[in-house]
């Protein structure tokens, strides 16, 4: 694959040229929308009463939610919606100057109201957002969308189709049910339950020196400097929560795509070899790649590289991500919100009259929690694995070349701590 160096300026140009003011459509929803809802409701009322505008309320809320990213007047002037079109500039009318001046006055007032609302939200603390999943067209899937400015610090995943998202989530829920554990909305992994394959070809001595002792200190299972059998790798993928590969390519030379797809259960994977996440186009057929094979086998998330990378830089990225995961696992503490949710989910599964009574109460509590603007699926102190990828890009010497190569295939996957580890 030919190298295309894409520094921050180039990725910004991609964002501006292709997406323009619609870039904010890619942002995830706000986790706590109480202040946003209040400001949005007041702004809609003002625009309707003072400007007599028919507002697209959904897009207006999207604009307000992006207040932390862009409050420049040049961008705001395009954004108050009127009948699904950009706002701030009303439809063009070839009328008398007096009428034209009236339209300009209304447009100026609308822009002022929006600017005031955006400034009010801009004074709030940082907005926590839900993760997003990109389903990309075949002609653009090779581009590093995760590194455009609007998404670089966001939690972003890729999946080949909308249907595949549902399949992964349903499979995860069935696994939790069979394991007699509380079914979570998203998959959960313990990063300490890991198996590593480190430098199996034997020619990445610096990578092996960087990770071998560190992996042993974490009590990870795995192999370094040797080639395992396909059976060993298949067993490791089925019996661990996390599979780490630091070697050349995607590791397909040690376990083929067909063997991966034949697994009944598959760990989350981190493939740090060159082009481990690139997809091969096959004419009119869907693209194929090892990363998608892991997803097809049931891996909840696979982190892999879109193009060739240098070993030392990608080692920095990999270690930054793993360190963040392990630190997050260590910092997990008993949370009253989490404990209450566990009790409520357990109550829902109790059979009999008493269980039905508890179920009604639990459902009521969950609804009240959701209505208050908080997320019932995850606490603010418990990010998912993909939330650390954007930060880890900055650990690279070339953050917009090597740092832009890793992407996450899969769905949001939470971090947990197993009792026996």
Active site positions, annotated: 274
Residue in 219, 278, 226 with CA at minimum distance from that of residue 247? 226
Phi and psi angles of residue 203, each rounded to the nearest 5 degrees, phi first: -115, 10
Residues 410, 300 contacting (CB under 8 angstroms)? yes
**In angstroms, what is the C-alpha Rg of the chain?**
24
Q: Look at the alpha carbons of 178, 179, 184, 190 in this order and tell me if their dihedral is positive or negative.
A: negative
Residues 321, 405 contacting (CB under 8 angstroms)? no
Phi and psi angles of residue 74, each rounded to the nearest 5 degrees, phi first: -60, -35
- DSSP letter string, 62-77: HHHHTTTT---HHHHT
Report the DSSP pairing between strands 242-246 and 132-134: unpaired
Going through 176-240 in order, the beta strands assigned E by DSSP cover 188-189, 194-198, 221-224
Structure-block tokens of residue 405 = 């190569």
Report the DSSP pairing between strands 301-305 and 268-271: parallel
CB neighbour list of residue 393: distance below 8 Å, 6 or more residues apart: 147, 152, 317, 399, 403, 404, 406
Distance between CA atoms of 196 and 156, rounded to whole angstroms? 25
Residue in 78, 61, 74 with CA at minimum distance from that of residue 118? 61
Determine which helix (DSSP H) or strand (DSSP E) holds 178, and give its type and residue range.
Answer: helix 162-178
Going through 130-187 in order, the beta strands assigned E by DSSP cover 132-134, 156-158
Phi and psi angles of residue 75, each rounded to the nearest 5 degrees, phi first: -80, -40
Distance between CA atoms of 189 and 265, rounded to whole angstroms? 13
Determine which helix (DSSP H) or strand (DSSP E) holds 371, and give its type and residue range.
Answer: helix 353-371
Q: Which single residue is written with the structure tokens 């040229």?
A: 17
Q: How far is CA 321 from CA 2, 41, 296, 403, in A?
A: 27, 40, 24, 12
Residues 85, 111 contacting (CB under 8 angstroms)? no
């Amino acid at each position: 694959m030919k190298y295309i160096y894409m520094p921050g300026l180039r990725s910004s140009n991609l964002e501006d040229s292709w997406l323009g003011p619609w870039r904010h459509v890619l942002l995830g929803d706000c986790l706590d929308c109480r202040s946003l809802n209040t400001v949005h409701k007041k702004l809609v009322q003002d625009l309707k009463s003072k400007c007599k505008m028919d507002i697209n309320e959904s897009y207006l809320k999207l604009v307000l939610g992006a207040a932390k990213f862009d409050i420049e007047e040049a961008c705001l002037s395009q954004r108050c919606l009127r009948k699904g079109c950009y706002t701030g500039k009303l439809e063009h009318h070839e009328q008398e100057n007096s009428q034209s001046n009236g339209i300009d006055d209304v447009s100026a007032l609308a822009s002022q109201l929006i600017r005031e609302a955006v400034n009010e939200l801009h004074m709030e603390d940082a907005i926590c957002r839900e993760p997003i999943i990109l389903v990309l067209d075949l002609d653009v899937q090779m581009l590093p969308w995760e590194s455009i400015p609007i998404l670089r610090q966001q939690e972003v995943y890729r999946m080949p189709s909308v249907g595949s998202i549902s399949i992964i989530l349903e499979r995860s829920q069935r696994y939790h049910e069979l394991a007699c554990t509380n079914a979570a909305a998203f998959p959960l992994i313990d990063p300490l339950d890991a198996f590593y394959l480190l430098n199996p070809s034997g020619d990445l001595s610096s990578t092996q020196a960087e990770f071998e002792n560190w992996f042993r200190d974490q009590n990870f299972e795995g192999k370094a400097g040797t080639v395992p059998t396909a059976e060993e790798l298949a067993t490791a993928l089925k019996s661990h929560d996390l599979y780490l590969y630091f070697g050349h390519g995607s590791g397909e030379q040690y376990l083929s795509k067909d063997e991966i797809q034949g697994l009944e259960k598959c760990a989350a994977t981190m493939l740090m070899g060159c082009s481990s996440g690139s997809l091969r186009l096959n004419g009119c057929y869907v693209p194929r790649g090892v990363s998608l094979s892991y997803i097809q086998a049931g891996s909840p998330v696979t982190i892999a590289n879109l193009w060739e990378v240098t070993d030392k830089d990608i080692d920095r990225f990999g270690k930054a991500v793993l360190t963040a995961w392990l630190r997050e696992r260590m910092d997990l503490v008993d949370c009253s919100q989490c404990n209450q949710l566990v009790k409520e989910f357990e109550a829902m599964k109790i059979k009999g009259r008493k269980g039905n009574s508890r179920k009604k109460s639990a459902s009521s509590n969950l609804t009240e929690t959701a209505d208050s603007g908080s997320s019932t699926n995850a606490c603010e102190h418990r990010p998912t694995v993909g939330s650390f990828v954007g930060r880890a890009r900055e650990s690279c010497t070339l953050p917009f070349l090597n740092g832009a190569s890793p992407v996450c295939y899969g769905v949001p996957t939470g971090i947990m701590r197993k009792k026996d580890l």
